[in-house]
Amino acid sequence: MVMGFESLAGGGNIKKEDSDTKIKLKKEILLQVSKALFEGKEPKELAKLISLDPGLAFLLLKYINSAFFSLRKEIKSIEAALAYLGYKNLRNYILTLLASHLLESTENAKEKIEKAIKRAFLMKNFCLYLSPEHSDEAYLVGLFSVLAEELPKDELINTLRQAMVSEYVISGLRDENSMLGKLLSIIKEFEDYGISYINKLVEKLNLDKNTVIQALQKSEQEASELLKLIP
């Protein structure tokens, strides 16, 4: 239901019980992996890099074997996970972990991480109807827009450039008049007003009401599933 949405080489040495402890990721490794994926490094090189952070290796295998993909057979190696996911899907997950990691030091971190992931899926799923070729960038704008409210702008932009995030995403965060900037403003208004804003959402996005409701439902479900996989 839409109602209530507004309140919305590696891993081999990690034991099962580690999943019950707080995993501390390494920012520098996340940045390096994101950059390596952008540059199209070979799977063996990527697997070696990911294995430098056992927590990251564990989370990646947990992600690929989750309900998100519903695989019939468990994937047990980083290279196999890379082959199945593809670089673009993996990079979005790595950047989601990066955003979560950066938000951990802020006040009410858990709520902000949840907000960032919900906003990311709202941006992506509405962008799929409006400008599908930019849906991945829309996800990242939604994700990092919460960080933009917490970190100095120059610090965030520098971090995103280290991770090789595109200038199109950065523009969406900085320019309210860009396509993604305008969509972000609409999504923020929906967050403020909730379900009572649906008719206005339909009008502003120029989409039919059923499409809007389906996008909201899909975003809620996807965000809920991904939040289970964020430390």
pLDDT, tens only, 219-228:
999 999 999 8
- Does the structure show a pLDDT above 70 at 19? no
Mean of the pLDDT values across residues 3-26? 47
The reported pLDDT for the residue numbered 23 is 77
Under the phi-then-psi rule, with left for phi > 0, alpha for psi from -120 to 50, and beta for the rest, what region is 173? Answer: alpha
Structure token pair of residue 36: 């390596």
Of the pLDDT bands very low, low, confident and very high (cuts 50, 70, 90), residue 2 is very low
Is the pLDDT assigned to residue 16 strictly greater than 50?
no
Residue 3 has pLDDT above 90, yes or no: no
pLDDT in tens, 119-165: 999 999 999 999 999 999 999 999 999 999 999 989 999 999 999 99
Q: How much is the pTM? A: 0.86
Nearest-10 Cα torsion for 162, 163, 166, 170: -70
Q: Does domain 5-227 have CATH number 1.10.150.170?
A: no
Q: Return all residues near 80 (Cβ < 8 A) that are at least 6 apart.
A: none
pLDDT in tens, 191-211: 999 888 999 999 999 999 999
